[in-house]
Amino acid sequence: MRPESPRALAVRLLLEVERGGRAQLLLDRALDRLDWPERDRAYTTHLLYGTLRHLRLLDFFLEPLLPRPEGLPPTVRWILRLGAWEWLAGKPDHARVSPWVEETKRVAPRLAGLVNAVLRHLQPREAPQCVRLSLPEWLCQAWRTYFGSLDFAQGFNEPAPLFVTAYRPVPGLRPGPLPDSYLWEGPKTDFSALGLQPQNPASLFAVQLLNPAPGEKVLDLCGGAGLKAFYLAAKGAEVVSYDLNPKRQEAGRRTAAKLGLRVAYRTQDLREPLPEKAKKVLLDAPCTGTGTFRSHPELRYRLAPQDPRCMAKLQLMLLETAAQATEEGGVLVYSVCTLTEEEGEGVARAFLADHPEFVPEPFLCPLPVLKAGLGVYVAPEGGLDGFYYLRLRKVNSRA
């Protein structure tokens, strides 16, 4: 059934997110099926992402007015959170309360009076920093201990700009923070037809750290659909992209064909040795994704304290495979879109303790640095994802 309004669609999508769906994927699929003006599409996005990014804070404001929120139907609870988000975002009462009351009448008529009363009586009150940021307590404590402050985390709750990587010259685009990265300021379109690919600059920088020469062979490990491989191929590299998921690779093949780029795809469990080596190897490893909370806000509520340690074990296994695939004198770049100690410097320390044949190679980072030491953490500022990078040189092979 077609939703009647951006508000109705936002409610439905949030219910699907609560059941385990991915907000970005659900929103894109829904809007692709709807012939809505850009204003309505943008407002649905504002409602969905704003509510998820500020969820803990919204519940904090609703708490004094809802003694037992868990007893409400999920639909009504999301309606209250959405109405609270509009209040927090500055929408006046006359423009926000009545639409949510009408939406409640459609799905739970007996609770329309409750929704009306609650949304009209919201009051500001001082919230703890972790609640203001809508982050889990365990992660706040870990970040305070490791980074010394939580100030950087405010960036996760700001609107997300759309960055694109250009594989050929495209006039009229506003430059981003890196070469070949630009800000896209119009509605979404067929980017491949324009020689563009949506990509966060923090993700792009992991690829640029390899700096391959034209014709040089590069192994892209855990490459997924090959987003980073596309850029390498556009620079003239001979790219082989490995991943365990053949469906993502098939999607990558189609995109590469539209872009006119050549990427070789090979499907393999990367916990097992590769059948080939190269002088340039990129491992953008699976991770907890704490650096992507801006574009995947629901992820912050799904992580558990033990998840970074569990992911670090997998990352070390994958790094072992990448090390064996790196030729002597070659460069291995390890990157993750997360800001945990365990998956960044922790993995680096553990790997180097067992691999004296590799040495860290310093590099200049043009992006805002959150912490630098054994590798570099990039801060989620100005629309950037949070990332960790480590560049290693294989100085000699062990017997």
200 Cβ neighbours under 8 A, 6+ residues apart: 163, 295, 383, 384, 385
| Rounded (10°) CA dihedral 152, 154, 157, 160 | -50
For residue 102, give the nearest of 127, 121, 126, 119 by alpha carbon: 119
Residue type, 311: M
What distance, in Å, lies between the first and last C-alpha atoms of the chain?
A: 65
Is the Cβ–Cβ distance between 205 and 178 less than 8 Å?
yes
Is the Cβ–Cβ distance between 266 and 236 less than 8 Å?
no
Q: Name the DSSP class of 7.
A: H
The stretches of 54-111 forming alpha helices (DSSP H) are: 55-62, 74-88, 93-107
Taking residue 294's Cβ as centre, other Cβ atoms within 10 Å add up to: 21
Residue type, 254: R
Structure tokens belonging to residue 200: 């966060």
For residue 227, give the nearest of 202, 199, 264, 190 by alpha carbon: 199
Q: Count Cβ atoms within 10 A of the Cβ of residue 151 and give its class: 0-12 exposed, 13-18 middle, 19 or more buried.
A: exposed
Is the Cβ–Cβ distance between 205 and 387 less than 8 Å?
yes
259 Cβ neighbours under 8 A, 6+ residues apart: 167, 192, 195, 197, 230, 234
User: Which residue in the list 130, 222, 287, 337 is annotated as catalytic?
Assistant: 337
Strands 263-267 and 238-243: parallel
Q: For this structure, is 222 an active site residue?
A: no
231 Cβ neighbours under 8 A, 6+ residues apart: 165, 167, 180, 197, 199, 204, 207, 208
Known catalytic residues are: 337
